[in-house]
Structure 1
Amino acid sequence: MAENKAAPHSFVKDGVFYFVRRVPKDLLHHYTSRKISYSLRTRSAAVATSRALRAAQRLDEHWYHLRIKDSDLPGKHMLRMAQAHGAETVPLSAASPVAETVKLSEAVGIYLRLKGQGRPVTFHRAAERSCGYVIDVCGDRDITDYKKADANAFRDDLIKRKLAGSSITRIFGTVRAVVNFAASELGIDIKNPFGHVYYDRNAGVEDRSPLPLDVIHTLQAECRKTDDDLRWLVALVSDTGMRLAEAAGLLKEDLKLDDPIPHVVIREHPWRRLKTTSSARIVPLVGMSLWAAQRVHERVTDSEFAFPRYNRDDRTNANSASAALNKWMKPNVPKKCSMHSFRHSMRDRLRAVECPSDIVDQIGGWQTEGVGHGYGTGYPLEVLAKWMRNVS
């Protein structure tokens, strides 16, 4: 039966909703059927939607771990062993004997078991991969046995791989966090050798330039002229400052056009996670973003997704969207400009109308520094809309 449009990943039989999900081709060897299907035990579309999304999210997590198991991840065999048996190898209760030290693979297990609860797949993947690189270069040793020479050798290997300075910084940051956390849990006082390692942090890093306002207007005019789903995506990003992946993974119902203040709800979905917790937000729809949202509602009639082209599988294909749209933009934009430049431009455009910085942060989903900003629910939609209209 065809999927039901009232609830994602479902169909209706005799009035009852059933969950249905195709098994990805690369994981078919783990299953005896090409589809997973079972009753959601409800006749309510709202209840079915909630249950289906939870089931889909659990499947996505399971499929990620199956893929990791099948892939050639550096140091993978040791890291997975540590996670599977971490509870036995490193007892953490006060009544149990505590190991004097642990190997790096075991440290990853401790880190993910305690700090990885409820964190996105990318959090787990970063810890496994970064520490897997260390294991490949320096071996899986007790965390107290690594020396400065090991950290320097690790740095040299990353540079040899031609990684950008920003990527090296992220990798070292993850390794430091794993070592520090495991040492703290075990009561070990060590000087982390992966701290204060010198390398050129700007090597290979290209500054992303904002788009000039006249270029934005030219691109927006071309969007109206071409008037297809790719250009709706460009227009939506251009006057909201959303990340491309955030926009590409939207549902039609995330575009709230019937509200007194039209807006987009940016929230996490099983097929598209958000970069940070502050990325979940609402942004008023004005100018070309409002036009794009209206076109989506008028023209997309056979899918729950705002941009079904990039949501045909279990994940939003933001890389494909980026490649296609950057290619289209390239002849008409300055060097070092891309789709992500709209996001830089939005911050400059809000600055130009003297928008307060914490409102800028809320609109863009940027983290605002300071303890006080963690209190309350933020500015109401009416205030955000006033500043967005000034920009438009």
Structure 2
Amino acid sequence: MPKYIYAPHTFVKDGIFYFIRRIPVDVRKHYTATKISHSLKTRLPQVAASRAMRTASQLDEYWYQLKCQDVQLPGQHLLKTSSIVVSRHGHTTDVKTTTLNVSDCVEIYLGQKGVGKGDTFKRAATRNCGYVIKYCGNLYIDQLTKAHANKLRDALVAKGMAGSSIARILGTVRSVLNFAASEEGIDFRNPFGSVYFDRSAKVQVRSPVQAHDIKIVQAACHKMDDDVRWLVALVADSGMRIAEAAGLSCEDIQVDDDGNISVQIIPHPWRRLKTSQSERTIPLVGSSAWAAKRILASQGQGSFAFPRYNKTDVTNANSASAAANKWLRAYLPEGTSMHGFRHSMRDRLRAVECPADIVDQIGGWGTVGVGQSYGSGYPVAVLRKYMDKISYNI
């Protein structure tokens, strides 16, 4: 009788030996299954036994390495970098221990910097870093290279994005990765920091609205006299962003004892501001003052200035912009939009020799210089002096 040969970790199907082994629980998180099974491609027990033992030995060695990766080394928290030195087969090599991938970075970034920010901020971080995951993979950050950054750039260019859009996406990616690495104490060289591309490609220059066109629009607003026209007129002579105007409360509109009207641009739960410099008070003149009076007469205190754009928890600035720009097509040259009034405001103030820091305060633009952060800015009376100079008589 021939001697029976035992082949461990095997089973026989149709006379062919197969290897089978369950994956240990402590390394199962690295797999998509609970066991490993494959054909040993032999009908001979002795060959199957040899191949099965060799496969089992290879798995034991690999699983040991996986387990070691999950073990916290003594004193690891004292290392200056995220790399450790391991000796293998007599050779010393550097092994990265960073376990922070791109999606982890987004989570850390939003968890810290996203507090109190609107949905736009959160969507931008998630969407822009999502491009990295889509085109490069959800890699650990120490695996990201300049080749990945260039690959993302090429993909965005292929999508037909303008240079300004690519700049915003890469800027967000840089910020998210740098912030998360800093929070986790990881020494990280960001490959998205110096990516070359044509920043002017496909960029549409927003043209300012010219004086004669502003007067035509203002006259049309007075004639039609409804809430959409009040919105246009309010922006035309104040330089407000359309989201700032659409999200106003009637209580933000102030009338002093002399009958002068001004508007406070402050953050609201339903409409946040773009920057900290955006919080300001603007004296209203010309069509803006007319629109504010019509709003107060129609809506009264204690309500939204534009209820139709504030039916939910968040001001629908996109709807306001779409409605205003659709109407303006009949009055403005091609390439000019609602935002052009904001560009015009800066030019109009320059024309009356308004100091640059007053221009910045009226428009809510950031002013360069440490000294500009001191004090409370110019009083409203000073701002009004220059705003009166640019008012058009309709």
CA distance in 2, matches of 1:106, 1:185: 12
Q: Residue 122 of structure 1 aligns with which residue?
A: 120
Q: Deviations over 1:196-242 (max 9, x none)?
A: 21222122211000111111111111111111111111111111000
Q: Residue 235 of structure 1 aligns with which residue?
A: 233
TM-score, length-normalised on structure 1? 0.72
Q: Residue 141 of structure 1 aligns with which residue?
A: 139
- The 5 Å alignment of 1:1-392 reads 100-101=97-98, 102-260=100-258, 261-301=260-300, 304-392=303-391
TM-score, length-normalised on structure 2? 0.72
SS in 1 for 2:200: coil
SS in 2 for 1:332: coil
Q: CA RMSD for the aligned pairs?
A: 2.3
Deviation at 1:175, TM superposition (A): 0.8
Deviation at 1:381, TM superposition (A): 0.8
Counterpart of 1:285, as a letter, is: L
Task: Tell me, yes or no, if the aligned pair for 2:231 and 2:246 is still in contact at 8 Å.
Answer: yes
C-alpha distance 184-312 of structure 1, shift in aligned 2 (>3 A): closer
Deviation at 1:119, TM superposition (A): 3.3
Counterpart of 1:339, as a letter, is: M
Task: Tell me, yes or no, if the aligned pair for 2:250 and 2:300 is still in contact at 8 Å.
Answer: no
CA distance in 2, matches of 1:186, 1:327: 48
CA distance in 2, matches of 1:374, 1:107: 32
Q: Residue 60 of structure 2 aligns with which residue?
A: none
**Which protein shows a greater Rg?**
2
Question: Please, which moves more after superposition, 215-224 or 105-114?
Answer: 105-114
CA distance in 1, matches of 2:171, 2:348: 33
Q: Deviations over 1:360-379 (max 9, x none)?
A: 00000001111111111111
Q: Residue 56 of structure 2 aligns with which residue?
A: none
SS in 1 for 2:362: helix
CA distance in 1, matches of 2:390, 2:248: 23
Gaps of 5+ in 2: 1-69, 83-96
Q: Deviations over 1:30-70 (max 9, x none)?
A: xxxxxxxxxxxxxxxxxxxxxxxxxxxxxxxxxxxxxxxxx
CA distance in 2, matches of 1:278, 1:303: 25
Task: Tell me, yes or no, if the aligned pair for 2:250 and 2:301 is still in contact at 8 Å.
Answer: no
Task: Tell me, yes or no, if the aligned pair for 1:257 and 1:294 is still in contact at 8 Å.
Answer: no
Deviation at 1:95, TM superposition (A): 11
Task: Tell me, yes or no, if the aligned pair for 1:148 and 1:193 is still in contact at 8 Å.
Answer: yes
Deviation at 1:330, TM superposition (A): 1.1
CA distance in 2, matches of 1:302, 1:283: 19
Counterpart of 2:390, as a letter, is: V
Counterpart of 1:177, as a letter, is: S
SS in 2 for 1:205: coil
Deviation at 1:187, TM superposition (A): 4.0
Q: Deviations over 1:257-310 (max 9, x none)?
A: 245442001111111111111111100011111111111111225971111121
State the number of aligned residues.
Answer: 301
